[in-house]
Amino acid sequence: MKHHEQATLVHVEQLDATTFRHVYAAPAIARDAQPGQFLHVRVTQATAPLLRRPISILWSDFHEHVEILFKVVRQGTALLAEKRVGERVDLVGPLGTPFPYDFSRDAVCVAGGYGIAPLCFLARANVSEHNRRILLYGARTASAIVLRPEWRQAFDEVAIATEDGSLGKKGLVTDLLRDLLVARRSLAVYACGPTPMLAAVARCVANFAEPGTPCYVSLENRMGCGVGACLGCVVPTRHGMATTCKQGPVFPAQEILFEQILAETSR
């Protein structure tokens, strides 16, 4: 169920110069939130910027509090970062289709940059004895790796790759993924990060995973309404255009026509 709530900002944590974690008291949203879903955040009651900002849910206690992790990019996120504890924030959520989760397979969470947020939620919400949770986390450099201790605890294994080698293995997160897919069986892959990374994850799974390995990717896109009405955030899939906000943001990787998306964005 979707809700429109005037939430209270109850906690702000600044993780680095441009990265913030917000905790909101938003009971209706918190109760219904599932990993992979997002909040549509109105950053101002004025009309500029006009649209809401879609931000992945980092955590919900399923009772009262819901958390997001965001980076200050432009005007909208800058306004959000200026909010102080006690302020009201206009939230719509939880929106979008969550990650399906398979306890019979070990979960390989592949995160790129801020893509860590929904994967932390996925792992923390599904801690169990039945399977292992493995985090493969990639970023350009060490300072872009955001991993608090309680997030790390949800994973049985954590491997990090940075492009400049400043933390973990030097290289791409898909290098870690390939090694894992070759070495192990009975895995399910869940990925969130920049679109080129997701495309690489999809290729990697297609080439190296045991046949039948599920792979779900969470896409990012410009959005209008957030509820499938405006058709502004569509992506090409094997079954035609699909809305990122409603039919996604989580899709089975093999459904997405990544080559078409990458060709469009590189123009």
Site residues, another protein (CB under 8 A): 1-2, 4, 42, 47-52, 90, 92, 221-235, 240-241, 246, 264, 267
Q: Which of 228/252 has CB closer to another protein?
A: 228
Cβ at position 121, least distance to another protein in Å? 22
Tell me, what amino acid is at 204?
A: C
Least distance to another protein, CB of residue 137, Å = 28
Residue number, 187 or 219, with CB nearest to another protein: 219
Which tokens hold the place of 13?
Answer: 């944590």
* Residue 167 vs 234, nearer CB to another protein: 234
The CB-of-226 to another protein minimum distance in angstroms stands at: 7
Distance CA 37, CA 177 (A): 24
- Sheet with strand 187-192: strands edge to edge: 169-170, 157-162, 133-139, 106-112, 187-192, 215-218, 250-252
Residue (159 or 219) nearer to another protein, CB: 219
Q: Which of 85, 241 has the CB closer to another protein?
A: 241
**CA pair distance 132, 186, nearest whole angstrom:** 11
Nearest distance from C-beta of residue 33 to another protein, angstroms: 15
Cβ-based nearer residue to another protein, 43 or 134 = 43
CA 159, CA 1: separation in Å to the nearest integer? 35
CB of 74 to another protein, least distance (A): 10
In angstroms, give the least distance from the CB of 3 to another protein. 8
